[in-house]
Amino acid sequence: FSGRLTFQVLYAIGVSMMCMAFLRRLSSKLLLTLSFGWLIFGELLVRCLWDPTLGNPSIPTALGMAFYYEPLFRISYPLLPWLSLMCIGWVFGRYIVDLKNPELKRIQPVPLLTLTGIISLAVFAVVRALNAYGNMFLTPESSDWIHFLLVSKYPPSLSFMALEIGLLCLIMAGMMRMEKRIGVRKNGVLLVFGQTSMFFYLIHRLVMEGLAQWGGLRGAGGIITTYVVSLVFLIILYPLCRWYRSYKQEHPGGWTTLI
């Protein structure tokens, strides 16, 4: 809508899924080694290929690992960091499937997620406390606690990934505990949105971007307005997502498998 070509979420997800057609054949140990290897040492390679003080990197470098901005062209989500995260998710999916095999002895998901979350947050705290390597050129202007949470997402840094993985693992562990106690409701809000996540993303993106661009609402309002608008969109999209989930279940194997 803005007239600007942007490589962001859909680019990262789409190309990562294409790569997974081949990477899924690798062992879980190798996938984890490659993924965590990038998360830890990827910034070294980025520093070798890009100096932000000199402007934008080359487009191939930006598509793979960096950030690129021009008024009419932007690369926000480079491939390699997000592909690494997808590989970690793929390995976790394998682990969940293997739990159904009684011959394999595995740590249960809740303690594994809890431990992983704690370790990830500890890594985040150490990296940010050192305030040197691991935040992808981003240097906070002060030592206030709010600046401690200032992490580079564009491109993703070790501190950003550690913080997000840590929080996500602890949230998933907590939700798994809740599931055992209260069960799962077929039309629960989180379940419906989770089962229609791509549909939800596309609809909300089109509507919000359209209103921002054509309705002159880009940047309008404050934080309270943002929360109110978000809540309204969730209320509106919930029945739409329920409808799409039913449609998808009634039409398996078609184009709906892609959304």
Q: pLDDT per residue over 207-226, tens digit each?
A: 888 888 787 777 777 889 88
Give the C-alpha separation, 124 to 119, whole Å.
9
Strand 5-7 vs strand 68-70: parallel, antiparallel, or unpaired? unpaired
State residue 106's pLDDT score: 82
Q: Is 203 found in the same domain as 116?
A: no
Q: Is 114 found in the same domain as 29?
A: no
Out of 83, 103, 123, a domain closes at: 103
Least confident of 15-24, 95-104, 125-134: 95-104
CB within 8 A of 134, min separation 6: which ones? 43, 127, 128, 157, 158, 159
Q: Is 21 found in the same domain as 113?
A: no
Q: What phi and psi values does residue 68 have, to the nearest 5 degrees? A: -140, 130
Three-state DSSP at 244 gives helix
pLDDT above 70: percentage of residues in the chain: 99
State residue 4's pLDDT score: 82
Q: How many domains does the chain have?
A: 3
User: 253 pLDDT exceeds 90?
Assistant: no
DSSP structural state of residue 78 = -
> How many CA atoms within 13 Å lie on the side-chain side of 154?
11
DSSP structural state of residue 134 = B
User: 66 pLDDT exceeds 90?
Assistant: yes
CA-only gyration radius of the chain, Å: 20
The model's pTM: 0.90
Q: Which domain covers residue 114, as residue numbers?
A: 107-183
Q: Is 119 found in the same domain as 33?
A: no
Average pLDDT over every residue of 237-246: 96
pLDDT digits (tens, 9 = 90+) for 139-175: 877 777 888 889 999 999 999 999 999 999 999 999 9
State residue 235's pLDDT score: 95
How many C-beta atoms lie closer than 10 Å to residue 193's C-beta? 18
Give the confidence band of 42 by pLDDT, cuts at 50, 70, 90.
very high
> Which contacts qualify for 31-34: CB closer than 8 Å, 24 or more apart?
31/87, 31/88, 31/90, 31/91, 32/87, 32/88, 32/91, 34/84, 34/87
Give a three-class secondary structure readout of 194-241. Answer: HHCHHHHHHHHHHHHHHHHHHCCCCCCCCHHHHHHHHHHHHHHHHHHH
Q: Is 208 found in the same domain as 153?
A: no
State residue 134's pLDDT score: 94
Q: Report the length, in residues, of the chain.
A: 259
Element (H, E) at 18: helix 9-23
User: 254 pLDDT exceeds 90?
Assistant: no
Q: Is 7 found in the same domain as 88?
A: yes
Q: Is 91 found in the same domain as 30?
A: yes
State residue 258's pLDDT score: 80
Q: Is 236 found in the same domain as 150?
A: no
Give the confidence band of 1 by pLDDT, cuts at 50, 70, 90.
low
User: 252 pLDDT exceeds 90?
Assistant: no
Q: Is 112 found in the same domain as 55?
A: no
Q: Is 84 found in the same domain as 7?
A: yes
Give the confidence band of 3 by pLDDT, cuts at 50, 70, 90.
confident
Going by C-alpha positions, the residue among 40, 13, 28, 16 that lies closest to residue 162 is 40
Out of 57, 86, 103, a domain closes at: 103
Q: Is 86 found in the same domain as 17?
A: yes
Give the C-alpha separation, 144 to 223, whole Å.
21
State residue 2's pLDDT score: 67
Give the confidence band of 256 by pLDDT, cuts at 50, 70, 90.
confident
Average pLDDT over every residue of 231-252: 93
Going by C-alpha positions, the residue among 88, 87, 63 that lies closest to residue 77 is 63
Out of 163, 183, 203, a domain closes at: 183
User: 12 pLDDT exceeds 80?
Assistant: yes
Q: Is 79 found in the same domain as 12?
A: yes
